[in-house]
Amino acid sequence: MPELPEVETVRRGLAPVMEGVVIRRADVNRPDLRWPFPERMAERLTGQRVERLRRRSKYVLADLSSGETLLIHLGMSGRMLISGDPLGQFVYEHPAAEKHDHVVFHMENGARITFNDPRRFGAMDLMPTNGGETHKLLAVLGPEPLGNDFYDSILVEAFKSRNTPVKSALLDQRIVAGLGNIYVCETLFRAGISPKRKAGRIAAPKVAAMVPIIRQVLEEAIEAGGSSLRDFRQADGELGYFQHSFDVYGREAEPCRRDGCDGTVARIVQSGRSSFYCPTCQR
Closest CA to 59 of 3, 117, 140: 3
| Residue 239's pLDDT band (cuts 50, 70, 90) | very low
How confident is the model at residue 233, as a pLDDT?
Answer: 45
How confident is the model at residue 85, as a pLDDT?
Answer: 62
Catalytic residue among 19, 197, 273, 279: 273
Do 4-134 and 152-277 agree at the fold level? no
CA dist 41 and 105 (Å) reads 12
| Residue 82's pLDDT band (cuts 50, 70, 90) | confident
Report the pLDDT averaged over residues 267-276. Answer: 94
Does the annotation mark 273 as catalytic?
yes
Report the pLDDT averaged over residues 112-136. Answer: 95
Domain ranges of the chain: 4-134, 152-277
Catalytic residue among 2, 5, 145, 195: 2
Each residue's pLDDT tens digit, 134-178: 999 999 999 999 999 999 999 999 999 899 999 999 999 999 999
Each residue's pLDDT tens digit, 180-228: 999 999 999 999 999 999 999 999 999 999 999 999 999 988 887 765 4
How confident is the model at residue 195, as a pLDDT?
Answer: 98
Report the pLDDT averaged over residues 120-140. Answer: 96
Q: Please give the mean pLDDT across all residues of the chain.
A: 90
Query: Is residue 91's pLDDT more than 80?
Result: no
Helices 181-191 & 210-223, crossing angle to 10 degrees?
130
The structural architecture, per CATH, of the domain 4-134 is: Alpha-Beta Barrel (3.20)
Strand partners, 268: 275
Does the annotation mark 2 as catalytic?
yes
Measured torsion, CA atoms of residues 11, 70, 59, 10, in degrees rounded to the nearest 10: -20
- CATH number assigned to the domain covering 152-277: 1.10.8.50
How confident is the model at residue 226, as a pLDDT?
Answer: 62
Find the range with the poorest average confidence among 32-36, 135-139, 164-168, 236-240.
236-240
Catalytic residue among 55, 58, 190, 233: 58
Catalytic residue among 3, 6, 8, 68: 3
